Amino acid sequence: MKNKKHLLYLICFAFVVIFLAEIIGFQSISFGSFSVSILPLVFAVFFGMIFAVPAFRKGIFKKVYSVENVQFASKNLLFIMLPLMAYYGASVAPQITEILSVGWVFLFQEVGNLGTILFALPIALMLGLKRTAIGATLGLSREGELAYITEKYTLESAEGRGVLSMYLIGTLFGSVFFSLFAPLLLNFGFDVRALGMAAGMGSASMMTAAASAVAALRPESEEIILAYASASQLLTSFLGTYTMVFLAIPLQRFMYNTLTRGDNYDHGK
């Protein structure tokens, strides 16, 4: 009974946060010739994070952020996102002809998953993360990467701590970051189709934030942006595992062994 009561607090709090975020609405901030769009989603995430800080987590907020509610939210996030993913999946059909005309580009953009290894792994090793860097720089550290690292090293290992840390950081800040970064690229002349395609990175929340932010600035191209993002998301979800296993992991193993010159990737846990 106590758990159900705490869940009621969480549901009410969620409605209040959504209401406040919708009242604030879409905001655009200009920095000279550049403009950054801020979606209601960003404000909702911000409110949720602020009241989760221990200094504010007292009284009713202590009940909202109870252990039971946090566990419930983490376990059911996927189910909450399913209607949204169904909507995005349906948005692909009207644009299927145009999407198929550039189909090879969708396959090529999968190589972008190697960017975290090429750029982040050397920096992580310079910062002294050692084997933690293996988990922290494998893609965006979403479900696929989390499953692989857990199976091979366990979450108690240094690699496990790395992937879990990035998974949590991505969950908390990923949607905020991409909702700000994606529309910023419009100022550099990027095509809206390219930004829509780039939004499908394997994370439903990040894809939604990035695609919606770009669509808000280019409402005349909203259907194209959402269709490209949805198609890219579906393809990433399907091919992401194969890209990780056959391209990302061998590259990461080679770079790690080369840069460390002693701590072999294949040995130890």
More confident residue, 239 or 66: 66
Q: Can you spell out the DSSP letters for the chain?
A: -HHHHHHHHHHHHHHHHHHHHHHH--EEEEETTEEEEE-HHHHHHHHHHHTTSTTT--THHHHHT-HHHHHHHHHHHHHHHHHHHHHHHHHHGGGHHHHHHTHHHHHHGGGGGGHIIIIIHHHHHHTT-TTHHHHHTSTT--HHHHHHHHHHH-TTSHHHHHHHHHHHHIIIIIHHHHHHHHHHGGGGT--HHHHHHHH-SS-HHHHHHHHHHHHHH-GGGHHHHHHHHHHHHHHHHHHHHHHIIIIIHHHHHHHHHHHHSSS-TTS--
Percent of the residues in the chain that have a pLDDT greater than 90, as a whole number: 14
Query: What is the separation of C-alpha 22 from the centre of its chain, rounded to a whole number of angstroms?
Result: 22
pLDDT the model gives residue 267: 45
Reference 245, options 132, 147, 105; nearest CA is 147
* Assessment of whether the complete model's pTM goes beyond 0.75: no
pLDDT the model gives residue 123: 95
Predicted confidence (pLDDT) at residue 16 exceeds the cutoff of 90: yes
Q: What are phi and psi of 34, to 5 degrees?
A: -100, 150
pLDDT digits (tens, 9 = 90+) for 155-192: 778 898 898 788 778 766 777 788 778 878 887 888 88
Predicted confidence (pLDDT) at residue 70 exceeds the cutoff of 90: no
Label residue 1 by pLDDT band (50, 70, 90): very low
38-47, 143-152, 159-168, 236-245: range with highest mean pLDDT: 159-168
Percent of the residues in the chain that have a pLDDT greater than 70, as a whole number: 82
